[in-house]
Structure 1
Amino acid sequence: MLLSLEGLEKRFGGVTAVSDLSMHVRRGSIHGLIGPNGAGKTTIINLLTGLYTADGGAITFDGTSLVGLAPPDIAALGIARTYQNVRLFKGMTALEQVVTGCWLRRGVSLWASFIGLAEARRAKKATEAHAMALLERVGMAGRAHELAETLSYGEQRRIELARALGSDPKLLLLDEPTAGMNASEASAIGHLIRELRGQGLTVLLVEHNMGLVTEFCDTCTVINFGRLLAEGDPHTCLSAPDVQEAYFGRRHDADRIQSLR
């Protein structure tokens, strides 16, 4: 397993957001993390990236414990993420946005960059070439020199994805990457994620679009109120009674809703 969570706990005051949660993500897979609103999905992503510190349990990534590590250290180990809401910098082109995600690759000091040493100039050129290759990878090379805020929502999502790839991660955490997209746009992102998996990347996908999860995820984990409901094949998980109840309410309500489709 590339990523393992064992007995993970996170509390905010008197509220338990994640409770005794165990989850496993296989290397080279697309793993869905799903659950109703408020289930604790983004909290888990924040725990994995060091924005929150776990109150108990273990997080192991590629043989290394992540508990207590700072976000830059976790990023350096090979974890990158996107956010629920697009977070791009105003006044920057698509290429410049992606360059900011390549900072782990620079390998030169801030001082060398400031005074313009030859090694810094070479690193800058190499970083820009890498960023352009990433834009090509997500189908946005043709918009590289346009201001990111002038692009469509779906295009901005692709730029954000390219920026996350800038550090050459082993694990990519995608927090609702198709939120606000129509079916065609969401499917295109799904195919892009599958292509990235085919290139050796492991993806943990937080998503409300169940069609996307069942079509593109190899495995999934379902949580509710921070607790594990099911883990395994997406179709099997989504048909489990506890999962149906979490999404639709009482079991007979779920059956009635399904009958109306």
Structure 2
Amino acid sequence: MIWQEISGNWVLVPPRPIAIIHFLGGAFVAAAPQVTYRCLLEFLAEEGYAIVATPFVNTFDHTAIARDVLKSFNAALDYLQSQVFKKRYLPIYGVGHSMGCKLHVLIGSLFPQERAGNILISFNNYPARRSIPFFEQFYQFAPNLAVEFTPSPEETNDLIEQQYQVRRNLLIKFTDDDIDQTKSLTEALLNRFPSMTALKILKGNHLTPLGQDVKWQTGNVFTPLDAIGQFVRQEVYRDFNQLKRDMLMWLAPTRF
């Protein structure tokens, strides 16, 4: 399998795909998801899921970003359905990490779309002051400038409670993630779709989904320091591998 760029998306198609995953990453790593989330996305492709990962650059207008990424995804989907899948129907799942979760819930609340379900990992809906590095220093020089995300966190919560249309959802929260807001999202979705909303709390942190390989080159003689390095690598991958297993079990429970 080889990554290819289609209509602004990075696409990876296995030989016999069983479904399509539309992936959106976190705010500061979303510009190149085929690199920053390579391990996770290539694993899903090896399991039979066609990947359409849409890059984006964060701005204050999250509604516009959601509209643009959906437009880009639909353009890639049209190409794949006509040239690759040959009109064969495949279910579509949204997978988002951090800000990518917010974009998926905005897409599911504001725009026509077809989703068999969404996997929402480490949902983040903080205001600009909490989300943007050095925001306070910037704000001191422009205190009268209107700088808040659109929709605001409160408006986003209202949209989810009143308009979100994707019925089946898996929410994933990590134990050591201090910028996660999955709790509020879980409460809203349980009120809306109580029998089709699942929550998983896993070991890990906000960066666990990136799953990048921890390189540790041992010397000619295996030392105690090498042992520590191998242990750290195993611990990192234990959390990442659990994430992969839980995602697969939710996507295709009959395979387990």
TM over 0.5: no
- In terms of fraction of residues, the more strand-rich structure is 1
Give the TM-score, by structure 2 length: 0.30
> TM-score by structure 1 length?
0.29
